[in-house]
Chain A
Amino acid sequence: MATRASKKKSDYGPIYKGHEGQYSWLLHRITGVAIILFLFAHVIDTAVVGWGPNAYNRVIRVYENPIVRLLELGLVAAVLYHSFNGIKILLVDFFPSLAKHIRVMGIVTLVVFIAAMIPITWIMGGQIVDLVRN
């Protein structure tokens, strides 16, 4: 019998010891927090438009940076994942009999998310490449 000292990490099972849903739950939290923290900054940078073109155009120039644009790609990914996973949550909450299909729904959510991210990464990646070249 494994003692505490000799237990390997795998003996404890995955974090939270639940099923796959734990990962979508965790991702929902992480993407949600990331989005609201960005929103705090984004409301302020957009509000600068009220102080005229010089001020606003200077602030918006922050985005002329490839690293910021990569973070922006991450933001788009976060919004999309949170949205698709949100649809899954809504469906299960309003149609509880769907709960027995939760595993399949989680996989479908992931597939739809990846399928959406492929063209978006292509488009935004192209913009970033153009930015680096110019």
Chain B
Amino acid sequence: MATATEPRRDAQPPERTPQRDFRGGRERPVGGFELWSWLFMRISGILLLILAVGHVLIMHVQDNGVGRVNFGFVATRWASPLWRTWDWMLLVLALIHGINGLRVITLDYVRKAGLRLTINMVFYVLGFTLFVLGSVIVFTFDPSKWPGYAS
């Protein structure tokens, strides 16, 4: 006795729901300025790990922290080219890293392009001014102009 059966249908594997590809890691820019910005943040971040953490521990924690800092302290410290270089690199990298960070944040919170540009221009101008001011002071500081204080 022949019975009609439904034609055999192979079980289909369940539809794969797109999963987060962990090998892909986090989102990142694919090219252009944003990719360089992304890369800069990471490379400057590695350098700032040493420059900024070192600076904070030496200047703000060690001995009496900022309590021992005065003109004579700076004069002695900046007698060494190492510290002048350290402080200048910290100045440059921290300013760019920080202001680029602010730019990334304004991309999230300031939706009007004109307002965003205005806000960022304020930071760029401020950052450039502080870069010039800081660089001039770090490289031209000469305590012998004030005899008696340079120890």
Please report which residues of chain B, range 47-63, place their CB below 8 angstroms from some CB of chain A when the two chains form the complex: 48-49, 52-53, 56, 60-61
Asked if B99 and A53 make an inter-chain contact with CB atoms under 8 angstroms apart, the answer reads no
Least distance between B120 CB and chain A CB atoms (Å)? 13
Least distance between A57 CB and chain B CB atoms (Å)? 5
Please report which residues of chain B, range 71-111, place their CB below 8 angstroms from some CB of chain A when the two chains form the complex: 71-72, 74, 91, 94-95, 98-99, 101-102, 105
Instruction: Answer whether A90 and B42 are a contact pair too, CB < 8 Å, given A46-B134, A96-B22.
Output: yes
Residues of chain A contacted by B149 (CB below 8 angstroms)? 53
Asked if A33 and B102 make an inter-chain contact with CB atoms under 8 angstroms apart, the answer reads yes
Q: B30 an interface residue at 8 Å Cβ cutoff? A: no
Q: Which listed residue, A43, A46, A100, touches B22 by the CB 8 Å rule? A: A100
**Considering the chains assembled together, what is the distance between the CA atoms of A96 and B133 in angstroms?**
40
The stretch that binds B, out of A8-16, A103-111, A123-131, is: A123-131
Asked if B52 and A49 make an inter-chain contact with CB atoms under 8 angstroms apart, the answer reads no
Chain B residue at smallest Cβ distance from A21: B26
Q: Which listed residue, B49, B60, B69, B98, touches A124 by the CB 8 Å rule? A: B60
Q: B7 an interface residue at 8 Å Cβ cutoff? A: no
Residues of chain B contacted by A49 (CB below 8 angstroms)? 71, 74, 137, 141
Asked if A39 and B25 make an inter-chain contact with CB atoms under 8 angstroms apart, the answer reads no
**Considering the chains assembled together, what is the distance between the CA atoms of A35 and B141 in angstroms?**
25
Asked if A86 and B45 make an inter-chain contact with CB atoms under 8 angstroms apart, the answer reads yes
Chain A residue at smallest Cβ distance from B102: A36
Please report which residues of chain A, range 74-106, place their CB below 8 angstroms from some CB of chain B when the two chains form the complex: 75-76, 79-80, 83, 86-87, 89-90, 92-94, 96-100
**Considering the chains assembled together, what is the distance between the CA atoms of A69 and B61 in angstroms?**
11
Q: A50 an interface residue at 8 Å Cβ cutoff? A: yes
**Considering the chains assembled together, what is the distance between the CA atoms of A94 and B95 in angstroms?**
24
Asked if A40 and B23 make an inter-chain contact with CB atoms under 8 angstroms apart, the answer reads no
Asked if A120 and B133 make an inter-chain contact with CB atoms under 8 angstroms apart, the answer reads no
Least distance between B124 CB and chain A CB atoms (Å)? 13
Asked if B61 and A76 make an inter-chain contact with CB atoms under 8 angstroms apart, the answer reads yes
Residues of chain B contacted by A47 (CB below 8 angstroms)? 133-134, 137
Asked if A93 and B26 make an inter-chain contact with CB atoms under 8 angstroms apart, the answer reads yes
Q: Which chain A residues have a beta carbon within 8 Å of chain B's beta carbons? A: 29, 32-33, 35-36, 39-40, 43-44, 46-47, 49-50, 52-53, 56-57, 60, 63-64, 69, 72, 75-76, 79-80, 83, 86-87, 89-90, 92-94, 96-100, 120, 123-124, 127, 131
Interchain residue pairs with CB less than 8 A apart (18): A36-B98, A49-B141, A50-B137, A53-B71, A53-B149, A56-B74, A57-B70, A72-B65, A79-B53, A83-B52, A89-B26, A92-B26, A93-B42, A97-B22, A97-B23, A99-B25, A120-B61, A124-B60
